[in-house]
A and B are shown apart, each in its own frame.
Chain A
Amino acid sequence: MTARDGATLLALPPSAIADRPVATLEDLDTTLDPDAVWVLGPTREPQAFARARSAFDAPAFHPPLETGSEGSLKRQPLGDSEIAVTAGIGSLRANSADVSNTLAEQSDIAALVCDDVTTTVRPTALETTLEGAGTLADALPSGQVTTVLSGSEPAGYDELWHLEPETGAVRAVEHDLLGGIEPLDENCVSVRLQGAGPVEGYDRRQSIASLRLTDDGVDRVDTHKITNFGLEAVSGIGPKTAERLAGRGVTTRTELLETPVQTLADLPNVGRKGARTMHRHARVLETGDPRRLSGESLPGEDWHTPPLCVDIETDGLSPTIIWQIGVYDPATDDYRAFVERDDPSDPGSVLEAFCDWLLGVHPDRALLTWNGWRFDYRHLGAFIAKHVPYYADEWESIPKFDLYLWAVGDDNALLPGRTNKLEAVSDALGYESAGTGLDGAQTAAAYQRFMRTGDPLEWERHEAYCEDDCRALWHVYERLRDAPQAESRIDSNRRDSSRVETDTASGESANADSTDRTADRQPSSEPKKSEQTGLSDF
């Protein structure tokens, strides 16, 4: 982990920690090193709270228990700063004058925690309302922005609600917040509502968040799955196996490594192969060294020149422009960026310059991305076909590799990161990042603002971000290249069994309902991986 400014607040839904072994929480504590632990309300969960208190070194708080309905705000130290915690909207309502004074006078309070502030979507009215807006307008000081953290909104939620002080009526809501956040005027109560709750999209009961706070508010939000910690982080160990292992006194990965493979293999539904994989993955997680599981060579490993590492930046997840294409050439250690700084309405120029260069200078090189079949290659292909169609066939014929797919999707390697995001993986593998403080969404939002207003971006910072990803990718590649290989190809059989699981998760299976209508079941989470050619399907 790299050194970070600010303090870390770990937000845990009670359901995520209720049934987890203490050792898992201790692993969380060690790995994320929080300065305070927030067991989310709004419902009272005293047992989960007690669990958190005993497992973490940092102070824990649980809003529904921390402050009685009579009390006003609890001041919770967080690193060098402080946050305020309230039991909920009811408590704010009862103490609105006190709360207002405290928040207005104490400028060192970075945020207010209130778990039942939430938004409700009313599609029939085409309206999203802020529950408790009236109380917030009454209890929060006007003429300034108050950051409110709520476990009732998913982590990543970040919207600035400007309210009338008297009624709580919504004056405006600001989106895509990028620095310089101000109230509309002196009479405006401005609430920057930020979520810390479970994110949708996969099992909500496993979703946890860590928030980095500075005096200015939340600086960064990361989401994790609780199952990426403790024994369950080890490939092949689910809740049932973890429980059985606990019954044998094995609750940490170190203890797992001390348990003979044969003992593990005798557990139900594990077997010898599974037991070996457990050991290997536990070792990877403990040492931070990646491990190759198969005899498969890395994509492009046996080429005479290494692949070019590519990363793109767009204006959003449904892009209208690919405004930056970064290419790192490991053979020469050169980095090259193609950036549209002038005319965001022209998606063609950058693509044309990129293709001119790529096909002209490096006609024989392969490309390498991280998860490119889901993003970079997908959008590059579509945009080249549309905007520089004369290069479409050449583009199609360029060999394209996806390191994420090779390592994770096709089970060729075990990685030490707690998530499979490039940043987490390269970080765990010792890559020294440039520390731009950006992520894909921020850089997309920044470019959108440029498109809208013409205000230039901090181009160098955003270009450094893209370059950083290209170089990080090569770092991961090298670490994997140098990692010990499996002693035999025996593990390649594993692919079949692991595939079954993924296929089921994403399948649209046959599903005749009562009216004989067709109903394709929707893929539930991750799409099916494709092969290196990108030819297969999800």
Chain B
Amino acid sequence: MSEHHSDERTEVPVTGDELVETFPGYRNPNDISLLERPGRPASTVPSADVLRADLAGPLEHDLYTHQAEALEALARDENVCVATSTSSGKTRVYALQIARNYLAARARGEASTAYLLYPTKALSRDQERSLNDLYDELGLDITVSVYDGDTERGRNRKRIREEADVIITNFAGVNTYLHDHDRWAKFLSTCDLVVIDESHTYTGVHGMHVAWIVRRLKRVLSYYDADPQYVLTSATIGNPGEHSSALIDESVTVVDEDGSPAGPRDLVLWNPPPQGREADDDRDDWSGADDGNGDTVVERVPATVEAPRLLSHLTYQDAQTLLFTPSRKLAELSIKRASKHRQDNHYYANPDRASAIEPYHAGHSRKKRHGTEHQLKTGLLDGIASTNALELGIDIGAMDATVQLGYPGQRQSFWQQIGRAGRGAKRALSVLVAEHRTLDQYVVNNPDYLLENDIEDAVVDIDNDAVFARHLRCAADELAIDDSDVGAFAERERLERAIEMWRRAGQLTGALETGVSYVGPPRPQGSISLYATTGEEYEVTLEDGADPAQDPEMEPLAKERVLRDFHEGAVRLHQGQQYEVTAVDHGSPRPSVTLKPTNVDYYTRTRTDVTVLDAVSEESRDIGDFTLHFGRGRVLVYHGTYDKVAIHGGKKTDQSIPTENPPLSMETQLCWLEVPQRVERALIEKYRDFSVPELEDGLAGTAHLGYAGGLHAAEHATIGVAPLELMVDKRDLGGLATLTIDSHLDQDADPDADSRFGAPGAADDAPKNIAAAEATVREIATDLERTPASGWFIYDGIEGGLGFARAIYENYEAVARRARDLIADCDCGNVGGCPACVMDEQCGNDNQPLHRGAAVDVLDQLLGTEDTSALEAHLPDDEHGGDRRPPLFYA
């Protein structure tokens, strides 16, 4: 084994210090932190130590130690998860294993195939090319082909199935193709390797579907007497071994000692200047309300404005730069803003220099994306603004710098993105531009949070019966389920219960001893929605009379996106052309969105509300004086209004315009906790003085606000820590803290009546706007006969539910204990908490109000860790007095 330093100090176009020095306009040094991360030399092993001579010979470079370690484990017949940094050569591990298998099989006069599963189609095409190139280089006649929804049908497909040595596809494809596994018999029966690339992306709902598709694939492989090894490649996550094992249901050897070289990196945390302080041409875009006192910052320049300026500046300094944006819209918009920054600023003597910048996101055609990738690789482009579409391993070559428009919400994602800059030993620059929101501000003020804490765990749940049951139908359709599936696909008791459920529903027939077949509607695989969307799609059409040359030629849109971004009046930028949505047809069998080209100086942004309606308790239990419920109800996610936002400056020019959208209504499972009146009364008094001046609607100083902030904080924390205790992903959970739980319940709930959600048309009764929904809730609140309980809901954010809320219901004490400790032990010192405790990136109320102290008090009372007498001092003298309870609720 050898270690060698690469002392090639490749010239860096611009360092962190130089960026701060050269950026035009004043920036307060306190707003910018510079961190330097040291580099790491390569650690390598001669290829010939690990590989047979005919493979090692043609390889140009030695193997990195992690590649060697993984290949050795594979030689020992182990499954391997390679969890190392971006572009550390993970692909090469399985590419070489495929080559080994191929050569070994060829010597026996047999075939050896491999099934490669990638998370995106774009990645599939990218890897098809590079694998074919590698095998050419090695002089091996290994055919690598992509087979997915874009693959031409008919003989072409049959040829790939029967002739390719390596087939690249994705899990949606596998889910579909398993139905016709007999057509794949030849390929599957010689399968020696299954590769799950970017396996860290399989978490939450998607992850559990993938875990079950893998299990279905394994049944079919075993039917064809194939017993392949598995290679998973993963970004750096907290639990690569556990996560991999959960996905493939086998033991996995983790290789995470990274032997690839890494250059030093300048990490710049960039907080944009306060709005009024900035002295440049954009000044008239906002009111300049700041008083000039540096201690309190009322509002900062949005990252959506500042980050494109950095993109523009860095490319001007000859640094090829990748800007990550949180949305397609902002990718498009950032290009415009970067260009405007150049034109408007006298610093840039030659504004057209190095100004080739393009947007990149999944809304573009494959051809266009591929062209952009190529231009990046060949240096024709100076910069790019991309969604997280470029977070995964598409080969675009090494960038000099990255800029992040806002904190991406997860450390795993943060590191994955900045890994795009600086390949090999090259020095790299990465800039995080903070949004003026709590999570980002916390990160820039506490850089250690990024550097020291553990990376998040990827969570996959295979105990979820709803998902299991759906895949069981598919499995029965693929091959009869029999005793050989007991223990392998699921434990006997679970298998028998699920089979009995489907038999009673008339969808399965037969018995485990002799084989269970599927007899329901054709192709149950079609009912699997890997991302739990409704599957309803909208066509995008151009308005009659508009110039056909300006047809946006967009792919169909999912319903969720239409509701959020394509309401009537929405202004969208697509490939540099602005479009206004002139009509949306939700009702017809072929729903559609109609656009017309436009040219205005604003874009639109929707506002989102969440509320819970008609919850019906199915089970309940007491925890001390508290009552915990599990049940079903309707959650409305409502993009009810939108704002017009000036393209330059980001000021809202028009606010709260109704979208006329229907709410997105989910029938789902919920659990909720009712706080006893005594605790509530005491805590209202205790935190009576708490106020949040920024709050709208005149509620800033309401007496109940401190207590409500406590409920809200406890709700966030409970959801946030749920994955510590349970195999759930918090992104699939939602919550709502409320002072009037009763008003969210079904007022006519009759325990004997048949479930109202079973009745057809229930969803049609949904209120047509959020005002109606919330008014309904408030109206109910005023008419309640008993004093309503306060508390919080936790719901599964998926139509029909996923069993998460139930799992939390069953493990509530353990989860609450975690939440309590998290809040109490956090050293942020803020009443309103921080992203590490009670702030939630996805909060619908911008993390306000939140009150840590009140949250800890509530949880202490729930858990009985604090004596009930601790509250006595705060109880008001007047038993029935107090302020009128406002029907507040916070998502």
Flag A501-538 by CB within 8 Å of B: 1 or 0 each: 00100011111111111111111110010000001111
The verdict on B154 contacting chain A, using a C-beta distance below 8 Å, is yes
* Interface stretch (choices B94-102, B501-509, B875-883): B501-509
* Interface stretch (choices A117-125, A243-251, A289-297): A117-125
Contact status B176-A382, CB under 8 Å: no
Contact status B531-A513, CB under 8 Å: yes
CB distance from A455 to the nearest CB of B (A): 13
Complex: A334 Cα to B471 Cα, angstroms: 45
Flag B505-523 by CB within 8 Å of A: 1 or 0 each: 1100111011111111111
Give A537's nearest chain B residue, CB to CB: B157
Q: Of A125, A130, A175, A520, which one neighbours B176 at CB under 8 angstroms?
A: A520
CB distance from A363 to the nearest CB of B (A): 24
The verdict on B494 contacting chain A, using a C-beta distance below 8 Å, is yes
The verdict on B480 contacting chain A, using a C-beta distance below 8 Å, is yes
Q: A317-B518, A452-B511 are in contact. Are A123 and B806 (CB under 8 A)?
A: no
Contact status A127-B170, CB under 8 Å: no
Residues on B with C-beta less than 8 A from A525 are 522
* Interface stretch (choices B115-123, B307-315, B437-445, B703-711): B115-123
Complex: A120 Cα to B504 Cα, angstroms: 9
Interface magnitude class on chain B: 35 or more
The verdict on B110 contacting chain A, using a C-beta distance below 8 Å, is no
Residues on A with C-beta less than 8 A from B519 are 316-317, 441
Q: Of A195, A441, A514, which one neighbours B362 at CB under 8 angstroms?
A: A514
Contact status B504-A318, CB under 8 Å: no
Contact status B470-A522, CB under 8 Å: no
Complex: A344 Cα to B515 Cα, angstroms: 12
The verdict on A491 contacting chain B, using a C-beta distance below 8 Å, is no
Contact status A159-B176, CB under 8 Å: no
Residues in B791-842 with C-beta less than 8 Å from chain A: 800-803, 806
The verdict on B4 contacting chain A, using a C-beta distance below 8 Å, is no
Contact status B158-A524, CB under 8 Å: no
Complex: A153 Cα to B507 Cα, angstroms: 12
Complex: A385 Cα to B533 Cα, angstroms: 39
Q: Of A452, A511, A537, which one neighbours B149 at CB under 8 angstroms?
A: A511
Q: Of B182, B387, B503, which one neighbours A159 at CB under 8 angstroms?
A: B503
Residues in B503-549 with C-beta less than 8 Å from chain A: 503-506, 509-511, 513-523, 525-527, 530-531, 533, 537
Complex: A122 Cα to B505 Cα, angstroms: 10
Give A125's nearest chain B residue, CB to CB: B465
Residues on B with C-beta less than 8 A from A126 are 465, 469, 494, 497-498, 501
Residues on A with C-beta less than 8 A from B465 are 123-126
Residues on A with C-beta less than 8 A from B788 are none
Complex: A443 Cα to B303 Cα, angstroms: 69
Complex: A511 Cα to B494 Cα, angstroms: 35
Flag A128-156 by CB within 8 Å of B: 1 or 0 each: 10111000000000000000000001101
Count chain B CB atoms within 10 A of each CB in A317, A520, A523, A524 and give the residue with the most: A520
The verdict on A158 contacting chain B, using a C-beta distance below 8 Å, is yes
Contact status A153-B558, CB under 8 Å: no
Contact status B523-A523, CB under 8 Å: yes
CB distance from B168 to the nearest CB of A (A): 11
Contact status A522-B526, CB under 8 Å: yes
Contact status B518-A518, CB under 8 Å: no
Contact status A448-B148, CB under 8 Å: no
Contact status A318-B479, CB under 8 Å: yes
The verdict on A388 contacting chain B, using a C-beta distance below 8 Å, is no
The verdict on B561 contacting chain A, using a C-beta distance below 8 Å, is yes
The verdict on B636 contacting chain A, using a C-beta distance below 8 Å, is no
Residues on B with C-beta less than 8 A from A273 are none
Contact status B501-A315, CB under 8 Å: no
Residues on A with C-beta less than 8 A from B80 are none
Complex: A124 Cα to B630 Cα, angstroms: 13
Complex: A126 Cα to B476 Cα, angstroms: 16
Residues on B with C-beta less than 8 A from A157 are 506
Contact status A319-B480, CB under 8 Å: yes
CB distance from B185 to the nearest CB of A (A): 6
Count chain A CB atoms within 10 A of each CB in B121, B180, B504, B511 and give the residue with the most: B504
The verdict on B477 contacting chain A, using a C-beta distance below 8 Å, is yes
Complex: A154 Cα to B507 Cα, angstroms: 11
Residues in B139-160 with C-beta less than 8 Å from chain A: 148-150, 153-155, 157-158
Q: Of B387, B480, B533, B801, which one neighbours A320 at CB under 8 angstroms?
A: B480
Interface size on A, residues (CB 8 A): 71
The verdict on B462 contacting chain A, using a C-beta distance below 8 Å, is no
The verdict on A179 contacting chain B, using a C-beta distance below 8 Å, is no
The verdict on A445 contacting chain B, using a C-beta distance below 8 Å, is yes
The verdict on A199 contacting chain B, using a C-beta distance below 8 Å, is yes
Contact status A518-B170, CB under 8 Å: yes
The verdict on A268 contacting chain B, using a C-beta distance below 8 Å, is no
Residues on B with C-beta less than 8 A from A201 are 521-522
The verdict on A200 contacting chain B, using a C-beta distance below 8 Å, is yes
CB distance from A510 to the nearest CB of B (A): 5
Q: Of B478, B501, B513, which one neighbours A127 at CB under 8 angstroms?
A: B501
Residues on B with C-beta less than 8 A from A132 are 754
Contact status A518-B469, CB under 8 Å: no
Give B503's nearest chain A residue, CB to CB: A175
Contact status B506-A123, CB under 8 Å: no
Q: Of A122, A200, A316, which one neighbours B520 at CB under 8 angstroms?
A: A200
Contact status B515-A519, CB under 8 Å: no
Q: A316-B517, A511-B149 are in contact. Are A518 and B466 (CB under 8 A)?
A: no
Residues on A with C-beta less than 8 A from B526 are 522-524
The verdict on B611 contacting chain A, using a C-beta distance below 8 Å, is no
Contact status A512-B155, CB under 8 Å: no
Contact status A176-B510, CB under 8 Å: yes
Residues on B with C-beta less than 8 A from A519 are 149, 172, 530-531
Residues on B with C-beta less than 8 A from A523 are 176, 523, 526
Complex: A378 Cα to B427 Cα, angstroms: 59
CB distance from A329 to the nearest CB of B (A): 27
Complex: A528 Cα to B509 Cα, angstroms: 26
Flag A88-125 by CB within 8 Å of B: 1 or 0 each: 00000000000000000000000000000011111111
CB distance from B339 to the nearest CB of A (A): 25
The verdict on B361 contacting chain A, using a C-beta distance below 8 Å, is yes
Flag A195-213 by CB within 8 Å of B: 1 or 0 each: 1000111000000000000
CB distance from A496 to the nearest CB of B (A): 14
Give B466's nearest chain A residue, CB to CB: A123
The verdict on A451 contacting chain B, using a C-beta distance below 8 Å, is yes
Q: A316-B480, A318-B480, A517-B530 are in contact. Are A512 and B517 (CB under 8 A)?
A: no
Residues on A with C-beta less than 8 A from B478 are 318
The verdict on A1 contacting chain B, using a C-beta distance below 8 Å, is no
Give B495's nearest chain A residue, CB to CB: A126
CB distance from A420 to the nearest CB of B (A): 15
Residues on A with C-beta less than 8 A from B653 are none
Q: Of B154, B155, B182, B533, which one neighbours A513 at CB under 8 angstroms?
A: B533
Count chain B CB atoms within 10 A of each CB in A195, A199, A320, A381 and give the residue with the most: A320
Q: Of B388, B502, B514, which one neighbours A315 at CB under 8 angstroms?
A: B514
Q: Which residues of B contact A (CB under 8 A)?
A: 119-122, 124, 148-150, 153-155, 157-158, 170, 172-173, 175-176, 180, 182-183, 185, 206, 223-224, 328, 361-363, 387-389, 464-466, 469-470, 476-480, 482, 494, 497-498, 500-506, 509-511, 513-523, 525-527, 530-531, 533, 537, 555-556, 558, 560-561, 669, 754-755, 758, 800-803, 806
A-B residue pairs, 8 tightest by C-beta = A522-B526, A516-B362, A316-B517, A200-B521, A128-B504, A201-B521, A123-B466, A520-B149
Q: Known pairs A127-B497, A441-B519, A514-B328. 15 more at Cβ < 8 A?
A: A119-B506, A120-B755, A121-B501, A123-B800, A124-B464, A124-B802, A132-B754, A153-B506, A195-B506, A316-B515, A316-B517, A318-B479, A381-B182, A441-B509, A520-B149
- 25 A–B pairs (Cβ distance < 8 Å), ordered by A: A120-B755, A130-B504, A153-B506, A173-B503, A176-B509, A200-B521, A318-B480, A385-B185, A448-B509, A448-B514, A451-B513, A452-B511, A452-B513, A452-B514, A507-B153, A509-B149, A512-B363, A514-B558, A516-B120, A516-B122, A516-B389, A517-B530, A520-B149, A522-B527, A535-B155
